Structure 1
């Protein structure tokens, strides 16, 4: 049997929840520092997996400059 690519490690629901929590935490200046690591640790995922999900979500939400997903 041939593999068609790397298996998805995190389910969409967990990815969406983790991203939402991290974006919300980073909006608060008091909790911004270390927010991604904190949320990742709480949910049992690797911070390096969460980081690339947060950046586009922040752009799409207007929290960070850049090209939105819809414009890309």
Structure 2
């Protein structure tokens, strides 16, 4: 029998980790009450702690500030790729124009 993999929203993860960090629940208590595994809850707690210290996570962020940072970083990366493409295109056009003028 195959077990379906559950997925959780960022809001759920944030609330679950907040139970442990802000409301004083232990990880086992919170995991039982939310029906999630202790390991994944510990991972969410660690991620929330690191996000609160300003570290941008590799995966999807939990806090809205870190989500905004990830969106802006993705936009910067896209713009830098577009800029590189335009530089290459300009160089090719200039080389072509130089060949024509000879």
Give TM class, smaller chain: 0.5 to 0.7
Cα RMSD, aligned residues only? 2.7
Aligned length: 54
Structure 2, unmatched stretches of 5+, are 57-65, 67-102
Determine which structure has the larger helix proportion and give its number. Answer: 2
TM-score, normalization by structure 2: 0.42
Q: Which residue of 2 aligns with 1:38?
A: 29
Greater RCO, 1 or 2 (C-alpha within 8 Å, sep 6+) = 1
Q: Which residue of 2 aligns with 1:3?
A: none
Structure 1, unmatched stretches of 5+, are 1-5, 26-30
Q: Which has the larger radius of gyration?
A: 2
Q: Which residue of 1 aligns with 2:75?
A: none
Q: Distance in 2 between matches of 1:45 and 1:10?
A: 11
